[in-house]
A and B are shown apart, each in its own frame.
Chain A
Amino acid sequence: MALLELTDVRAHYGQVRALHGVTLTVEEGEIVALLGANGAGKTTTLRAISAMVAREGTLRFDGRPLGRTAESVARRGITHVPEGRGIFGELTVWENLQMGVYLRRDRRAAQRELAELCDETPWFRDRRGQQAGTLSGGEQQLLALGRARLTKPRLVLLDEPSLGLAPLVVQRFFEVVRRLNAEQGVTVLVVEQNAAIALEASHRAYVLEVGRVALAGPSAELAKDEAVRSSYLGY
């Protein structure tokens, strides 16, 4: 049974329909990439999963339907790192991390994981009093990912993590994502404009076109696909 299962999911902003029936699955332990041009509905798909946009169709997580509010989806163990990273700019680095453990009942374990996270990324501790809004884009993205990890997620939704970051920073960010996936078994659904790096980092990928799934398959195969190469990889 797939961890996440969308069947014929439609969504709209007011009168404008953004998703015309998306069907996709994410298996436990996978990294799945969602590719497509601007306006293809990638971000809306993530927003539909998180109930940040009104949606119809069947959405199942762990075999049970997903609720209608963003809070209830979060409480099922799905952590969304939205476009623009969803950092609390006026709060400190430390307070941002503390928001990650907001839902955790095992507070001891959560604080231990926070300590481990800080050993891994020492500047979280060294600059804990800094306003998060003053971090660089790459640092904010790492902070958002760190906070997502502290929620002990079963599924992480990453929306355009490469947006506005230098290529080297993007590389490093995806290395962290892959390590998390390999070492801690975190399942990831990532939306990405940068198709090359997304295909390299993911196991499987879907290509969206005007609100529908146009292509799907293992990332390695899609990377060789003629249509994908000319449309999204540019060679």
Chain B
Amino acid sequence: MQQLLQQVVSGLADGSVYGSLALALVLIYRATHIINFAQGEMGMFATYVLWALVTHHGMSYWPAFVLVLALAFVGGVGVHTVVIRPLARAPELTIVMATIALLVVLNGLAGWIWGPDEKVVGSPFPNNSWNVGGVLVSEQSVGVIAITLGCVLVLWLFFRFTKVGLALRASAVNPQASRVLGVRVPWMLALGWGLASVLSAISGTMAAASFYVFTPSYMQSVLIYAFAAAVLGGLESPLGAVVGGLALGVTVNLLGHYVGWIGSDLQLPVALAALLAVLLVRPGGLFGRVAVRRV
């Protein structure tokens, strides 16, 4: 029982990393109607910047973390302005190819600047465990869960309760109608890309904190889990992405721990097989819904 709970907690920690990246994918998908394949690498790049700030510029972790989130926002807006907006009238496949190009470019750039060897960013959380009624809960796991879900909550409040958040959602639902109400839709799209980039940075840095070491390619497996989480949640549903991520994290951890032959090698294929099984039963994903519309 104790082991089970411990596995669930570390599964939730992994899952919140997948979930925040999945949420970034969903934000972009709702606003731009494409999958951004570079989403993981944007988080990877942010993590390298964090590492450089801490290692070479003597910053301590949390100020550097906040600075990196701000830089990630600017970077996301920049990617939209430089890469995506000029392709606004291009076919969706072209834009998807551009994001794949961006994946390769960011990956190569990180390797070129910082080298392909493993880096250690260290964890901002103490390496202790709390004893909660006989269950050992690592502060590391709790910290990762708190930071990612805290940021997701802030984002939700922004979307739900602010004027700009409402305009951003309106722009995603009906850009034409938003424009005739005076919303500057391209700015809203840029803002959406900026926020998605911030989520990637959170996911990337927290993944690095969990894995302890990282290389330019460490986010690629996280991206696959995030895809799975987003699809599991219905691809259009922000809540679904987060819940999908958490469910996936817990499932993978439990399977890896309790089913001997899976171990850590087969976690990814088994997770994707589970995803397929869910989609066979619910093709729209867990939270996906067929749009209700009267004509």
Contacts and interface: CB of A to CB of B under 8 A. Distances in A.
B177 A82 contact: yes
B56 interface: no
A103 B180 CA distance: 11
A124 to B, nearest CB: 17
Contacts of B166: 91, 95, 98-99, 102
Interface string A75-101: 100011010001111110001001110
Contact of A91 (B173, B180, B183, B184): B173
A164 B295 contact: yes
B167 interface: yes
B293 interface: yes
Given A71-B184, A75-B182, A88 B292 contact: no
A85 to B, nearest CB: 8
A74 B294 contact: no
B179 A133 contact: no
A96 B178 CA distance: 10
Indicate the size class of the contact surface on chain A. Answer: 20 to 34
Contact of B177 (A87, A98, A134): A87
Contact of A86 (B180, B182, B293): B180
A224 to B, nearest CB: 35
Nearest to A148: B181
A63 to B, nearest CB: 21
B291 interface: yes
Contacts of B169: 88, 90-91, 95
A91 B169 CA distance: 8
Interface string A146-164: 0100010000000000001
B177 A102 contact: no
Interface in B244-278: none
B129 interface: no
A137 B294 contact: yes
Given A99-B167, A136-B294, A89 B180 contact: no
A174 to B, nearest CB: 21
Given A134-B292, A134-B294, A137-B294, A80 B180 contact: yes
Contacts of B291: 89-90, 133
B180 A50 contact: yes
A214 interface: no
A164 B166 CA distance: 29
Contacts of A50: 180
A210 interface: no
A88 B183 contact: no
Given A86-B174, A88-B173, A89-B174, A99 B294 contact: no
Nearest to B183: A102
B279 interface: no
Given A89-B293, A95-B166, A82 B180 contact: yes
A52 interface: yes
Contact of A131 (B180, B181, B185, B292): B292
A151 B292 CA distance: 27
B181 A133 contact: no
A79 B181 contact: yes
Nearest to A88: B173
Contacts of A100: 181
Contacts of B292: 89, 131, 133-134
B98 interface: no
Given A79-B181, A89-B293, 19 more contacts: A50-B180, A71-B185, A74-B180, A74-B181, A74-B182, A82-B177, A82-B180, A88-B169, A88-B177, A91-B166, A91-B173, A99-B166, A99-B167, A99-B178, A99-B183, A102-B182, A133-B291, A140-B294, A164-B295
Counting from the closest, the 4 A-B pairs by CB-CB distance are: A86-B177, A74-B182, A70-B179, A103-B182
Interface of B: 163, 166-167, 169-170, 173-174, 176-185, 291-295
